Chains A and B, each alone.
Chain A
Amino acid sequence: ETGVTQTPRHLVMGMTNKKSLKCEQHLGHNAMYWYKQSAKKPLELMFVYNFKEQTENNSVPSRFSPECPNSSHLFLHLHTLQPEDSALYLCASSQLAGANYNEQFFGPGTRLTVL
């Protein structure tokens, strides 16, 4: 148990659907992250939130919309996705985004398939 949970674990959606991914951390951390992991590609950082404020948007298309209502919850709202968006979406948290020793704790991920 890593203390970071993600729902749903699997999601299949059509290109015209709207869905949301949810992440919750129970570790008292102040920073949360969204990553995309595609087969045979590096983990790609999408967004970083530090104390509920977005500090990084790594040139992510607007069809991905993050929301961080508090330090424990992070959402990724999805709309009009493309098949190439199919991937594993990982959420992570850490104590502080800018701290020196800053290991990230990852959730189990949501396996997304866009048809």
Chain B
Amino acid sequence: GQNIDQPTEMTATEGAIVQINCTYQTSGFNGLFWYQQHAGEAPTFLSYNVLDGLEEKGRFSSFLSRSKGYSYLLLKELQMKDSASYLCAVREGTGGFKTIFGAGTRLFVKA
């Protein structure tokens, strides 16, 4: 079966760097996504990794190691508006139709 683990909550300081980890076990792998979800709002896409390595997009970077079933999302120069839940999601390889989401990591950014 599928299993996605990420920390429940994290707290960081404005201007700092924070790394949110995600480990997964899946019967097939066809890509890993990170989404951001502010309270009361819909999730929005942040990043996509299908090959090993680091993908950088502005202040956000995402890393993937398929052999270790591991990813992280790195947020630099934290801003108060980055306070949100960050969802790790894995797309299954079989047909690629199913995307399984983790429970999300709630990030609190403090001044």
Q: Is the CB of A98 within 8 A of B50?
A: no
Whether A98 lies near B97 (C-beta < 8 A) is: yes
**Which listed residue, A43, A98, A101, touches B48 by the CB 8 Å rule?**
A101
A20 to chain B, nearest CB (A): 20
Among the 9-residue stretches A11-19, A67-75, A76-84, A102-110, the one with 4 or more Cβ atoms under 8 Å from chain B is: A102-110
Which of B42, B43, B96 interacts with A102 by CB under 8 Å? B96
- Please tell me which one of the listed residues B4, B33, B41 contacts residue A103 in the complex, with CB atoms under 8 A apart: B33
| Chain B, interface SS category | loop
Number of residues on chain A facing chain B (CB within 8 A): 29
Q: How many residues of B contact A (CB 8 A)?
A: 24
From residue B50, how far is it (CB to closest CB) to chain A in Å? 6
**Inter-chain contact B48/A103, CB cutoff 8 Å:** yes
